[in-house]
Amino acid sequence: MDLGAAQASLQGSRIDGWLVYDFWKMNAVLQEALGGEQMLTRRTFLWVPARGAAVLLASTVDLGRLKSPYEVRTYTSGEELRTQLALLLRGCSRVAMEYSPGGDVPVVSRVDKGTIELIESFGVEVVSSADAYQAAVATFSAEQLASHRLACAETTTLVLEAFAHVGATLRAGGTIDERGLAEWMMQRAQKAGFVIPYVPIVAEGPNSAIPHYGPAPTGSRPIRAGSWLLLDYDLKIPEPMAVPADITWVGYVGAEVPDEQQRVFVAVRDARDHGLQLLRQAAAKGTTLQGYEVDRSVRAFLNARDPTMGGHFLHRTGHSLGPRGHGSGANLDDYETHDVRPLVQGTAFSIEPGVYLPGRFGVRSEINVYLGPQGPEVTTPIQREVVCIDDGASIPTGPRS
């Protein structure tokens, strides 16, 4: 966690400091700040002033197991806790905590109302720590960006090989189902020195209309001639802070994609590209978009193309990227939540609109975008056409940008 970046954010927002509160692991932000999970059984506060050194306020009961990179102050009784908090907050008027007005940004909705009332009793205004938290944890280090690029390069290879594996298996007269392909992908990644942290989404036919479908160990649908196939997976190097690539591609087992699937794919692809173009235009103008603005625009684009499709777009346009796949930065979301966080340089996210027709099929097309000094950079392969899995010999890759 980069507290220096958080302090710069606090200064830019004229917030006096960031007060991170935890009790029994209700707020994982504190564990991140301490560099790993610790057994803390009493109320604990980390005070990060806009300027100056951070201070950890902890119970004397927890000192025997506490490992802190910050100055530690202690309390025993509830009265002493209040006294210490008053000293930390003396002279402050605005303090950030893991609070989001209306719960719009769930990743920072972690502090109970009673604790907020306690802090407000010291005469300060509690505001959201959303921007400070994003600055501290969502901006890629040079090492993380390098790990993401490695994963993206391997992802380009793996997604094409997965479709080719289906074609080769069927051409040879063999059989393969959703789970079998998922396990093949995981084994293939491991042999190349990468990992797929969870069982990939390999969804055939009507299962592709379930956004987060997962093939069960037994009884998954067979893949055969005429199958519509959706693949979605994370892939990363096996290091805790490495950032994965996260993509979704679609394919059809046959020489020519059916008209309806083709029509929906083109609409979803164009909506995805509309979101990317919106980001490029903002970068060219030197403006910063908020997460909800991209989602709102992509959703409006899809509705304008075909209102019936817009009604089947069941999730946000994209999510932040981080070591666990879904990161803690701004999401492209004005549907599930209203994410007002800015899309800032050094962060990355997916763009992945989708249309899901229950009992029939679903289409999602996902790319990853890194906001670098020169503007938005697409780091993953971009699918331009549906992959036709026929004889396994010809698979279109599409351009990279």
pLDDT at 100 over 60: yes
Which is nearest to 129 in space by CA: 3, 295, 39, 23?
Answer: 3
- CATH of region 3-137: 3.40.350.10
pLDDT at 45 over 80: yes
Q: How many CB atoms lie within 10 A of CB 177?
A: 17
Over residues 243-253, the pLDDT tens digits come to 999 999 999 99
Over residues 11-32, the pLDDT tens digits come to 999 999 999 999 998 888 998 8
Position 349 scores a pLDDT of: 97
How large is the average pLDDT for residues 156-184?
94
Only one residue has tokens 């093939």, namely: 215
The Cα–Cα gap between 155 and 92 comes to 48
Over residues 258-295, the pLDDT tens digits come to 999 999 999 999 999 999 999 999 999 999 999 999 99
Confidence of residue 1 (pLDDT cuts 50, 70, 90): confident
Q: What is the length of the chain?
A: 401
The Cα–Cα gap between 94 and 128 comes to 10
Confidence of residue 218 (pLDDT cuts 50, 70, 90): very high
pLDDT at 143 over 50: yes
When the pLDDT of each residue in the chain is averaged and rounded to a whole number, the result is 93
The Cα–Cα gap between 121 and 82 comes to 10
Over residues 342-361, the pLDDT tens digits come to 999 999 999 999 999 999 99
Query: Which two structure tokens, joined as six digits, stand for 363?
Result: 């289409």
pLDDT at 397 over 70: no
Query: What percent of the chain is modeled with pLDDT above 90?
Result: 87
The Cα–Cα gap between 223 and 370 comes to 34
3-state secondary structure of 51: coil
Residue ranges, comma separated, of all CATH 3.90.230.10 domains in the chain are 142-388
3-state secondary structure of 237: coil
Q: What is the 3-state secondary structure (H, E, C) of 299-321?
A: HHHHHHHCHHHHCCCCCCCECEE
The secondary structure of residue 141, as a DSSP letter, is P
3-state secondary structure of 336: coil
pTM attached to this predicted model: 0.90
Position 395 scores a pLDDT of: 42
The Cα–Cα gap between 29 and 328 comes to 10
Does residue 65 contact residue 91 with C-beta atoms inside 8 Å? no
The yes/no answer on whether domain 142-388 falls in CATH 3.40.50.1370 is no
Query: Which two structure tokens, joined as six digits, stand for 83?
Result: 């006294």
Between 311 and 363, the higher pLDDT residue: 363
